Structure 1
Amino acid sequence: MGRLNAKVCIVTGGGSGIGRASALAFAREDATVIVADIRGEAAEATAQAVRDSGGVVRAMTVDVGEESDLERMIGQTVADFGRIDVLFNNALYVNRDHAMRDMDFLAFDPEIFLANLRVNVLGAVLASKLAIPHMLERKAGSIISTSSGSSMGGDITAYSYGSSKAALNWFVQSIAATYGKQGIRSNAILPGPTQTPAKLEWSTPEMDRLFLDVLNTPFIGEPEDIAAMALFLASDESRYVNGMLYPVDGGQSCTVPFISVTRKLANG
């Protein structure tokens, strides 16, 4: 019997990266998985990988920024499987042009800010709002959200992205406070640098070298490393865990900010 035996789990942004790795991990532990992604072909590719491994899965084309899409996602899941045990709000706003234009505070663009909020915050909030009534019926449920280490401090770039993830953290903990007594848990994962397809599109060997300089592991994480935490939070092993913001970041957040300077000085 798997760690998620008989659980029905929705994974948004399940077509690639952390979402795909998590969908596969959930299925290996005997969950029924709903793979939702704005790219229908990517959702179906993940679903096929789950089927090939013998898992039960549905693929859905979902834009989490559209409430009607979320209503369809939740409604169809309940209609097909009768319950929702886990909602993994993993979908991320990805727009390379917007990301490149979000690097100068004096050029701050409300359009880019609102686009990030629509997916990174509103998508997760509305999906949770729609799923919670079904979880309340069973007096149990786990809501997991992918946040970011960027949410935990100031930066000199990615103003819209980082602030959207900070807003998401507030909702994660507020949902935990509101519904924890009724058996619903809400937690977030804060990945550090992770070798997702989105990162691989823009990173360079020099950037990876600089990332490794601030990590306290000898490697940059893979999507499966984040999926492992998602699996724990989805399972009953984490039943006493609620309202937490979990860094999964190769130890980059465990040190003082100037660790790379002192490390170089110590090594001569």
Structure 2
Amino acid sequence: MAQDAIRMDGKVAIVTGGAGGIGAATARLLTLRGAHVVIADIAVDRAQTVAGELPGALAVALDLEQEDSILALIETTVAHFGRLDVLHNNAALLSPEIAQADGDVEHMGTALWDRTYAVNVRGTMIACRAALPHLRETRGNIVNTVSNLALQGHIIQAAYSSSKAAVIQMTRAIAASHGKAGVRCNAVAPGMTMTPALKEAFPPALRKVVEDETLRDQLGDPQDIAEAVAFLASDAARNITGQVLVCDGGGASHVPGISGFRSFFSGESA
């Protein structure tokens, strides 16, 4: 192992959903650590803006509902840089409008369910499938962004959470099938993360509910998740595969209602 195994010098990484939020933070961090980064996003203008800030970065339009678009991303990356070392599947269907419409199963729209799975599961599968031959050549790896909601039940976002649970199982399947070929596959499960999209989708009162159940003194931000992704993508994590790294500030690590207990024993509820 290299002396500084966290470095990514000379490696090529694709970050889907790289035009903002967690994706943009990850692209910046991977670049800082020496990688050449492809910023893939359906919002190609914003992707080009981010790429313009990063030495050697390339912006590519990506529509995860279109197989040809996904295949073109992989082909363009390899044609431009000559290799592929990391695929970070970060893009998902999670606009504020979609998040607000994604409720419980009884009231679920079939079109919303199908589109969520088309983007989050089918699109991720196609990207992995197209990338794996190139990752096998470089002994590279995949890091999938999932969610703590894929590990816990909730009264909202049934489509999103179950689609991300499917990606967790896909992560394990790829790790099992391609590990002996030198390819690792892991997932990062953020909790509520203070991205611009999240701030728009969830009002302060709902964010406060989650913050109260968080063991840190604040909710995480995109840089927190980027650090986890960059670690798993690096040689420092060479013995880690098939795993889900939960990055939720400890929200999933404790008994339910810890904020109420905290208030009770501090005397706030007296």
TM-score, L = length of structure 1: 0.94
SS in 2 for 1:145: strand
Aligned-partner residue type, residue 201 of structure 1:
E
- In the aligned structure 1, how far is the partner of 2:31 from the partner of 2:123? 24
| 94-103 or 196-205: bigger deviation | 94-103
SS in 1 for 2:88: strand
Q: 2:96, 2:198 within 8 Å by CA — same for their partners in 1?
A: no
Aligned-partner residue type, residue 48 of structure 2:
E
How far is the alpha carbon of 1:204 from its aligned partner?
2.6
How far is the alpha carbon of 1:258 from its aligned partner?
2.8
Q: 2:171, 2:186 within 8 Å by CA — same for their partners in 1?
A: yes
How far is the alpha carbon of 1:96 from its aligned partner?
3.3
Correspondences of 1:3-152 after superposition (within 5 Å): 3-50=7-54, 55-138=55-138, 140-152=139-151
- In the aligned structure 1, how far is the partner of 2:97 from the partner of 2:232? 34
SS in 2 for 1:56: coil
Q: 2:100, 2:201 within 8 Å by CA — same for their partners in 1?
A: no
Cα RMSD, aligned residues only: 1.3
SS in 1 for 2:53: helix
Residues 124-175 of structure 1: per-residue CA shift (max 9 Å, x gap): 111010000112223x111000000000021111111111111111101110
How far is the alpha carbon of 1:65 from its aligned partner?
2.0
Percent of residue pairs identical? 38
Residues 49-84 of structure 1: per-residue CA shift (max 9 Å, x gap): 11xxxx211100111221101111111111111111
- Which runs of 5 or more residues in structure 1 are unaligned? none
Residues 7-62 of structure 1: per-residue CA shift (max 9 Å, x gap): 00000000000000000000001100000000110110110111xxxx21110011
Aligned-partner residue type, residue 241 of structure 2:
N
SS in 1 for 2:217: coil
| 95-104 or 72-81: bigger deviation | 95-104
| 113-122 or 29-38: bigger deviation | 113-122
- In the aligned structure 2, how far is the partner of 1:258 from the partner of 1:203? 20
How far is the alpha carbon of 1:220 from its aligned partner?
1.1
| 225-234 or 208-217: bigger deviation | 208-217
Q: 2:120, 2:163 within 8 Å by CA — same for their partners in 1?
A: yes
Aligned-partner residue type, residue 102 of structure 1:
D
**Which residue in 1 is equivalent to 2:219?**
220
How far is the alpha carbon of 1:176 from its aligned partner?
0.4
How far is the alpha carbon of 1:97 from its aligned partner?
3.4
Residue correspondences, number: 263
Aligned-partner residue type, residue 14 of structure 1:
G
| 99-108 or 250-259: bigger deviation | 99-108
SS in 1 for 2:57: strand
Aligned-partner residue type, residue 257 of structure 2:
F
- In the aligned structure 1, how far is the partner of 2:7 from the partner of 2:97? 41
| 94-103 or 18-27: bigger deviation | 94-103
**Which residue in 2 is equivalent to 1:207?**
206
**Which residue in 2 is equivalent to 1:177?**
176
- Which runs of 5 or more residues in structure 2 are unaligned? none
